[in-house]
Amino acid sequence: MSCATEDVVAVVRAAAVTVREHRDELVELDRRIGDGDHGENLMRGFTAVTSKLDSHVPDTPGAVLKLVATTLISTVGGASGPLFGTAFLRAGTAVGGLYRLDGAAVAAALEAASAGVIARGRADVGDKTMVDALAPAVEAARAAVGGSVAEVLAAAAEAAERGASSTVPLVARKGRASYLGERSAGHLDPGARSTALLLRCFAGSGRFADSADRG
């Protein structure tokens, strides 16, 4: 059962808790170089996701991911709504109708998610956005394929955290922070931070810890 639908539902619920716990931190990061809504936007979205899951649980991991996507798109707003929405949508499409996900499927889902965000937002690595966390996470996940779901996610989370930290000295070239020009340097990008938080939550939820044994 380790990477079946109920596991994906569980990590999505855990993500909602993480977002709630870090709401103020994300608001504060966004207040420094944006408009102070990132934590609130994500919390609104993930709260809606949780209540959707309370009333209906789709029957495949892919369908859960798509439910997350459409809910985020219709409740978050801002730049991060369509971007995170696209990420979950592409991830859901990538895993198709599979009932169980292995490490390779998770890595492929992450890769599709990142490609979707880049296609929508047209940001490159170094523009000081969530792409700075996502792109290295994809590379690390790809390198970890062959390992368990837990190993792939742990590698991705660690790379995303490093990627998020790397945004601090950067001058933003995309999103609201770009309006600040040079003054955006010296601050952590809120979207990169939330991306790393979500991946750490997926990796650390413990749901996948034994997936290697069970294949």
Partner 1 sequence: MKKIINDPSAVVDQALYGMALAHPDLLRVERDPAVIVRADAPIAGKVAIISGGGSGHEPLHGGFVGAGMLDAACPGAVFTSPTPDQIVAAVEQVNGGAGVLLVVKNYTGDVLNFATAAELAGADGVDVRTVVIDDDVAVKDSLYTAGRRGVAGTVLLEKIVGAAAERGDDLDWCAAVAAKVVANVRSLGLALNGCTVPHVGQPSFALAEDEVELGIGIHGEPGRQRLPMEPADALVGRLVDGVADDLSLSSGDQVLLFTNGMGGTPLVELYLAHGIAERLVADRGVQVERRLVGSYVTSLEMQGMSLTVLKLDDELTELWDAPVRTAALRWGV
Ligand X SMILES: Nc1ncnc2c1ncn2[C@@H]1O[C@H](COP(=O)(O)OP(=O)(O)OP(=O)(O)O)[C@@H](O)[C@H]1O
Contact residues for partner 1, defined by CB under 8 A: 27, 31, 34-37, 40-41, 44, 73-83, 120-121, 173-176, 178-181, 183
191 contact choice in Mg ion, ligand X, partner 1, none (CB below 5 to 8 Å, kind-dependent): ligand X
Q: Which of residues 91 and 131 has its CB atom nearest to ligand X in the complex?
A: 131
Query: Is residue 193 a contact point for Mg ion (CB under 5 A)?
Result: no
Torsion of CA 177, 21, 199, 201, to 10 degrees: 170
C-beta of 215: minimal distance to ligand X in Å? 35
Q: Supply the minimum distance, in Å, between the C-beta of residue 116 and ligand X.
A: 11
Q: Which residues contact ligand X by CB under 6 A?
A: 30, 34-35, 37-38, 41, 77-80, 83, 117, 121-123, 129-131, 174-176, 189-192
For residues 39 and 26, give the distance between their C-alpha atoms in angstroms, rounded to a whole number.
Answer: 5
- Tell me which residue has tokens 């998770």: 106
Q: How many Å apart are CA 134 and CA 121, to the nearest integer?
A: 13
Tell me which of partner 1, Mg ion, ligand X, none is bound by residue 27, counting a contact when its beta carbon lies within the kind-specific cut-off of 5 to 8 angstroms: partner 1
C-alpha 118/C-alpha 73 separation (Å) is: 16
Question: Which range in 24-32, 85-93, 104-112, 146-154 contacts Mg ion by CB under 5 A?
Answer: 24-32
Residue 72 CA to residue 135 CA, distance in Å, equals 21
**Cα–Cα distance measured from residue 177 to residue 153, given in angstroms and rounded to the nearest whole number:** 29
